[in-house]
Amino acid sequence: MIENKDGFNGTIDLFKKPDSLLLKIFIASRKRQKCSFSIIGTEIRTGRDWNEWKKMVNSLWSREHYTLPGAILSEKEINPGPVFSLPEKFRFLVIPCFTGLPPELDYLELFSFIRTSGGLICLIPPLNDWQSPACGLSNMDLCTVMVNGKEDFSTALYHLNHRTKAGFIGINQMEKVQNDKESFNRLFPLNYKLSEHDIFRCFKTGKYSISNSCNNSVKCVIKPTKVYQENIICDKISFELSCLNGKMKTEFYKNGNKFSQEELSPSSKTKYIQIKGKEYCFIRTSNADFHSVSAPVFISSPHQLWGDHHVHYIFKNGLTDARMDYVAYGLYGQVQKYDDFPNIIPGGEIHGTVDRGTPDNLHFLVVQKSFDNHFYKWEPGEGTKKTLERAKKFRDFIILAHPGSRTSEYLPQTIHPDGIEILHGFSLFAFIMKNYPELLERAKRFFATELVLHTREDSVKNSRALWDSVLCKGKKCLGFGNGDLHGPAFHGQFANNLGVGYPVSVINAENADPSKVYSYLHTGNTWFTNTGFYELSMKMNKGFIGMEANLSRNNRVELTAASCFPITQVRFISQNKSIKEISCNAHEIGIKTSLAGLKIKNYLRAELTDNEGNIAFTNPIYIK
């Protein structure tokens, strides 16, 4: 196609059933609107259906107007696999990048095949039926925000606010040849020329906007520029905006919340936004007849690292969707490099054994300094104490994994871990799944004994009590949030499906570098959450999280936090007691308060909750 600096308009149009005559009339209509491409989808039930539909759509292709076939799959056509439960009435638009469509594969295998081969997976729920918080989904590329020219962000923002990385699309439900109101997707390829591969590339890199008009559009240039399929890492980001025609209202959104409004004219305008954590931004523009939304851009602060120290399987899509910066994996030397997910640090799960070589009661996670440092090899009968002694000798960073109500009975009194796993993804999943009997029975058949154990107890309550008991003894000990991911079935989708999120541990560092995770953990300036929160820091007198601080009669405490949802409560805790509670109702908070020295002993930490029930924990500030 010829060069066009104003971008290339196109549509995503969905039909109830294939009709070659209707398609020809429809394509002629799109050409009159000067559209450059159309992605055309219909309901597909078998591989044969797909081949026939692809042939029909490809027959309408021309150099002036590209046509790409898509498949609409509902929960009835998709095999969810042994555990996953797909919500009713949800549909997925699958757009293969010049590949086949094997519908016999289960959910994860099918969607992973499409995405890794360059294609797109789009979520197209019935927006007016969006109700249940138990319907979150990962493994998506795009979420619908406009249907036949009408905006609705509820589905998309639910997913993005639960830390699922996905872009936006506008679609048309084609009940007739041309609707009164329609959605258009304008693409802005790098070289100002459009190829079929550029269509996929623009959607994956966020170089597009969505509007209800083929005659007007808003262009948004982001600096620093985005690297393919990766987050932008910076302290400040700029949006350079321009529109083709007329003046319009411009609204700026960060993490789903409007924070600024200005007027936009055809001449370009630049807006700067400060970045505090793991964030996403987008822009909405409108006047009386026109409205448009930019692609969301995902940005990370250079002063944070988000990681998981409890991983048994590397599944790139799950880690990328959850916006992880690093994972601990490869304890036994199997993995030193993984091309699809580069930031793997050496570590894994260890445990002692009883006489016959079966696992002991306690499991531990270790983070090693380097892959070449040492390897673990157990002898039958080597119990927890000897295992911990070996890890201490190696100078590994040791985290007690998923403690239960009786963990303290087995924990050696002479050796304590460097940290305790407070938020455990699988435990959160198991505990909340008791509210979903049908899914629980299916999951029991798949996970067997492990799931039953985690449904009996409140893991967060037990872990928190053990953590405070260790801190009350004057010992230094950090808390962590991890996933405990075994294979693709664990990666994000089960957690999002029940709305509990993917637990993550966050390192605060001046210039965060994944290769320095081992040393960062020893400084202790970390916090953790299940989802929602994206910034958290605390200071008492002159001591930050993980540091020591002097105690006085009245101690000045400063806490800063931000969540995608309104933060409702902050609790300051010492000696296993809440010594002060502060109520609030804001997405971003900055608290300055005084705490009496008589109430603080050994340590001070904070817990925060938002109005969705999400929780975040600071790690302790230790008292000198």
Same-domain status, 232 and 320: no
Where is 107: in which H helix or E strand? helix 107-116
Q: Which domain holds residue 244?
A: 216-301
For residue 59, being part of any structural domain is answered with yes
Measured in Å, how far apart are the chain's first and last C-alpha atoms? 69
Same-domain status, 309 and 297: no
Going by pLDDT thresholds of 50, 70 and 90, the confidence category of residue 135 is very low
C-beta atoms surrounding 5 within 10 Å: 7
Same-domain status, 33 and 167: yes
Q: List pLDDT tens digits, range 524-559.
A: 999 999 989 999 999 999 999 999 999 999 999 999
Task: Please give the pLDDT value at position 450.
Answer: 66
Please give the Cα distance from 146 to 127 (Å, whole number). 9
For residue 516, being part of any structural domain is answered with no
Same-domain status, 489 and 591: no
Same-domain status, 410 and 446: yes
Task: Please give the pLDDT value at position 16.
Answer: 87
Distances (CA, A) of 4 to 184, 187, 622: 17, 10, 60
Residues with Cβ within 8 Å of residue 248, at least 6 apart in sequence: 218, 263, 264, 285, 286, 287, 290
The domain that holds 189 is classified in CATH as 3.20.20.140
Please give the Cα distance from 372 to 56 (Å, whole number). 56
For residue 521, being part of any structural domain is answered with no
Residue whose C-alpha is closest to residue 541's, from 618, 606, 594: 594
The beta strands (E) that lie in 152-197 are given as 167-173, 184-187
Q: Hey, which of 177-186, 510-519, 597-606 has the most confident mean pLDDT? A: 597-606
- The least confident of 240-249, 459-468, 528-537 is 240-249
The domain that holds 268 is classified in CATH as 2.60.40.10
Coil, strand or helix at 259: strand
Query: With helix as H, strand as E and coil as C, how does 17-44 read?
Result: CCCHHHHHHHHHHHHHCCCCEEEEEEEC
For residue 519, being part of any structural domain is answered with no
Please give the Cα distance from 602 to 548 (Å, whole number). 10
The conformation of residue 528, written as its DSSP 8-state character, comes to E
For residue 594, being part of any structural domain is answered with yes
Dihedral over Cα of 149, 155, 161, 163: its sign: negative
For residue 522, being part of any structural domain is answered with no
For residue 524, being part of any structural domain is answered with no
* Averaged pLDDT, 191-202: 92
Please give the Cα distance from 375 to 385 (Å, whole number). 18
Residue 133 clears pLDDT 60, i.e. is over it: no
Same-domain status, 341 and 481: yes
Same-domain status, 179 and 320: no
The conformation of residue 503, written as its DSSP 8-state character, comes to -
The domain that holds 412 is classified in CATH as 3.20.20
Residue 110 clears pLDDT 90, i.e. is over it: no
Q: What is the dihedral of CA 432, 434, 436, 440, to 10 degrees?
A: 110
For residue 314, being part of any structural domain is answered with yes
Residue 508 clears pLDDT 90, i.e. is over it: yes
Mean per-residue pLDDT of the chain: 84
Q: List pLDDT tens digits, range 204-218.
A: 999 999 999 988 878
* Averaged pLDDT, 179-189: 88
Final residue of a domain: which of 301, 323, 352? 301
Please state, for a pLDDT cut of 70, what percent of the chain lies above it.
Answer: 84
The beta strands (E) that lie in 301-424 are given as 304-308, 326-328, 344-345, 347-353, 359-367, 397-400, 419-424
Give start and end residues of each alpha helix (H) in 153-310: 154-161, 196-205
The domain that holds 571 is classified in CATH as 2.60.40.1930
Same-domain status, 197 and 317: no
Whether 607 and 615 have beta carbons less than 8 Å apart is answered as: yes
Region for 381 from its dihedrals, namely left if φ exceeds 0, alpha if ψ lies in -120 to 50, beta otherwise: left
* Averaged pLDDT, 441-454: 70
Same-domain status, 179 and 36: yes
Same-domain status, 191 and 225: no
Residue 231 clears pLDDT 80, i.e. is over it: no
Going by pLDDT thresholds of 50, 70 and 90, the confidence category of residue 485 is confident
Residue whose C-alpha is closest to residue 423's, from 191, 619, 576: 619
Q: List pLDDT tens digits, range 351-403.
A: 766 655 455 668 899 998 877 766 666 666 677 888 888 888 889 999 999 99
Final residue of a domain: which of 479, 511, 543? 511
Give the total number of structural domains in the chain. Answer: 4
Q: List pLDDT tens digits, range 574-605.
A: 999 999 999 999 999 999 999 999 899 999 99
Same-domain status, 175 and 297: no
- The least confident of 410-424, 441-455, 476-490, 503-517 is 441-455
Same-domain status, 562 and 417: no
Burial of residue 244 (number of CB atoms within 10 Å: 0-12, 13-18, 19+): middle
Residue 491 clears pLDDT 50, i.e. is over it: no
Higher-pLDDT residue of 244 and 480 is 480
Task: Please give the pLDDT value at position 127.
Answer: 47
Final residue of a domain: which of 156, 179, 212? 212
Going by pLDDT thresholds of 50, 70 and 90, the confidence category of residue 128 is low
* Averaged pLDDT, 79-105: 76
Task: Please give the pLDDT value at position 479.
Answer: 97
Q: List pLDDT tens digits, range 36-68.
A: 999 999 999 888 899 999 999 999 999 999 999
Cis upstream peptide for 126 (omega within 30°): no
Please give the Cα distance from 558 to 243 (Å, whole number). 43
Residue 100 clears pLDDT 70, i.e. is over it: yes
